[in-house]
A and B are shown apart, each in its own frame.
Chain A
């Protein structure tokens, strides 16, 4: 099964950047560091907004689908960079990993650079999507194995 983020990117091009950023947000720092270390001809990077950690208040809905309410906060880290080419990249991700988010912003800027997009998709986004897919399908199938198959006992006549 393919990651829904990738499916969306194919279905509607205007959702492509949203999907790319969603994958970058769910990357591990190691994944992004490895891709960045191997990236040829690295552009210069200016930090327009240094990686910064803060809080986002997460909301739920009353009854699941009703009016919103404030559930509790989560740590979130964000960064904005500008490449030597002038392209600006943003990143926001759960957690407090500043270096991961800085690299995610760099790859967001590279993804918006027409000549770099294919390379970002092939070497950065697709491996992340594959890992997330595998993780999701493992958990789905493990949960499926605990599904209750009800059967009815037939009582005897006597």
Chain B
């Protein structure tokens, strides 16, 4: 029997009004502006854009404000917003070789063409809290050094690629349609394009944990950070009205090339294989985790034994989306009175069969009703 229950409307309205009040907080403290969030909490904004799978800094800042800083709630808001908009088309692939580079490092080659640019990084900081930041002290601008601009910067993987020491960029048949999980439900097994789309929007914490597990020996993959680069790339779109691709503007992305030792198989000689990460905004932890997971998930393609969670495509991809995950975990908060009543009766029956006392069961039953 399914019983519909009504009620709680006034409680819900008042709860939402209270939420708005608590979100605003102490009225003597100035309200935070969206440009302050976008500028000063930029990496949080980047995470919301990456996992919300929607590049729009102002909307992501609004989502963070509305969600009171709850990142997964903000990501949920962005995902919901995108469903209200029409799709104009698919961009040309971003050309990360032509990136305007703000940071670029390699852990495998010291002297790579273009050099190692540390950029604005937390690396090598002492992780000591800085009390001066609590006040609004003036901050000097970044140091500058004149350098001729580069039209393009080769990737580390291109350097190793020349002598077959590393596998080439993956290719797919031209006529093969590029998978889009926002259009078609996922059907396992997946091609690598769909896996990368899912990983790019996957939860940073979940992918980080899985990536860490591969380093600890669950699907050991001997990784090196071949290259990490952060910077802006042009977005180009082909439109019906014009016979040339239009530049729509620039967006910041983080790209990671993981390089992994591979002992070879019947089809391939021993060489370095690769995992790839590409993420909206500045987020190298996420890009590195994505690249490690991408490589682990290629086990089937490379003929490796599937022994660990990080190699199990259905496990990883089905649980990497934090909006889906939170939806199912948090739905447990919704009323389950009838389901629980049924279970209560069931347990009561089983206990009766074993000849146990009924007094405790009766007490619990009263509480549930």
Contact A26 B180 (CB under 8 A): no
Residue A123 lies at the interface, judged by CB distance under 8 Å to chain B = no
Residue A156 lies at the interface, judged by CB distance under 8 Å to chain B = no
Residues of A within 8 A of B90 (CB): 56-57, 59, 70
Complex formed: what's the CA distance from A56 to B103 in Å? 27
Interface hub of A1, A26, A53, A142 (most chain B Cβ within 10 A):
A142
Contact B54 A72 (CB under 8 A): yes
Given contacts A67-B171, A69-B193, A72-B200, contact A136 B100 (CB under 8 A): yes
Contact A141 B249 (CB under 8 A): no
Residues of B within 8 A of A56 (CB): 87-91, 235, 237, 248
Given contacts A73-B82, A93-B248, A145-B144, contact A59 B91 (CB under 8 A): yes
Residue B329 lies at the interface, judged by CB distance under 8 Å to chain A = no
Contact B88 A54 (CB under 8 A): yes
Residue A22 lies at the interface, judged by CB distance under 8 Å to chain B = yes
Nearest chain B CB to A81 CB, angstrom units: 12
Residues of A within 8 A of B196 (CB): 60, 62, 69, 71
Residue A64 lies at the interface, judged by CB distance under 8 Å to chain B = yes
A58 touches which one: B58, B235, B244, B246 (CB < 8 A)? B235
Nearest chain B CB to A107 CB, angstrom units: 14
Residue B285 lies at the interface, judged by CB distance under 8 Å to chain A = no
Complex formed: what's the CA distance from A56 to B155 in Å? 27
**A-contacting residues, B246-261, CB 8 Å:** 246-251, 253, 255, 257
Residues of B within 8 A of A70 (CB): 90, 178-182, 193, 197
Nearest chain A CB to B52 CB, angstrom units: 8
Contact B247 A95 (CB under 8 A): no
Contact A4 B115 (CB under 8 A): no
Complex formed: what's the CA distance from A136 to B149 in Å? 9
Q: Which of B22-30, B272-280, B304-312 lies at the binding interface?
A: B272-280
Interface size, chain B (Cβ < 8 Å): 84
Contact A146 B119 (CB under 8 A): yes
Residues of A within 8 A of B50 (CB): 72
A139 touches which one: B86, B88, B100 (CB < 8 A)? B100
CB-CB nearest in chain A for B142: A142
Nearest chain B CB to A18 CB, angstrom units: 5
Residue A96 lies at the interface, judged by CB distance under 8 Å to chain B = yes
Interface size, chain A (Cβ < 8 Å): 57
B85 touches which one: A55, A59, A72, A136 (CB < 8 A)? A55
Contact with B along A100-144 (1 / 0, CB 8 A): 000000000000000000000000000000000000111111111
Residue A44 lies at the interface, judged by CB distance under 8 Å to chain B = no
Residues of A within 8 A of B116 (CB): 147-148
Residue A75 lies at the interface, judged by CB distance under 8 Å to chain B = yes
Given contacts A64-B157, A73-B54, contact A78 B88 (CB under 8 A): yes
Complex formed: what's the CA distance from A146 to B120 in Å? 8
Nearest chain A CB to B313 CB, angstrom units: 15
Residue A9 lies at the interface, judged by CB distance under 8 Å to chain B = no
Contact A58 B91 (CB under 8 A): yes
Contact B102 A139 (CB under 8 A): yes
Complex formed: what's the CA distance from A148 to B116 in Å? 6
Contact B235 A74 (CB under 8 A): yes
Interface hub of B194, B200, B247 (most chain A Cβ within 10 A):
B247
Contact B96 A147 (CB under 8 A): no
CB-CB nearest in chain B for A68: B93
Contact B192 A54 (CB under 8 A): no
**B-contacting residues, A81-103, CB 8 Å:** 90, 92-96
Complex formed: what's the CA distance from A92 to B117 in Å? 33
Contact A59 B94 (CB under 8 A): yes
Complex formed: what's the CA distance from A144 to B186 in Å? 43
Nearest chain B CB to A78 CB, angstrom units: 7
Residue B330 lies at the interface, judged by CB distance under 8 Å to chain A = no
Residues of A within 8 A of B96 (CB): 60-61, 64
B55 touches which one: A67, A73, A138 (CB < 8 A)? A73
Partner-B contacts on A (CB < 8 A):
1, 4-5, 15, 17-18, 21-22, 25-26, 52-76, 78, 80, 90, 92-96, 136-148, 150
Selected A-B contacts with CB under 8 Å, 11 pairs: A56-B89, A56-B235, A56-B237, A58-B251, A60-B253, A64-B96, A69-B194, A70-B90, A70-B180, A72-B49, A144-B146
In the A-B complex, list the 10 residue pairs whose CB atoms are closest, starting with the nearest. Answer: A66-B169, A22-B247, A144-B147, A94-B249, A69-B193, A63-B169, A74-B55, A67-B172, A141-B144, A72-B53
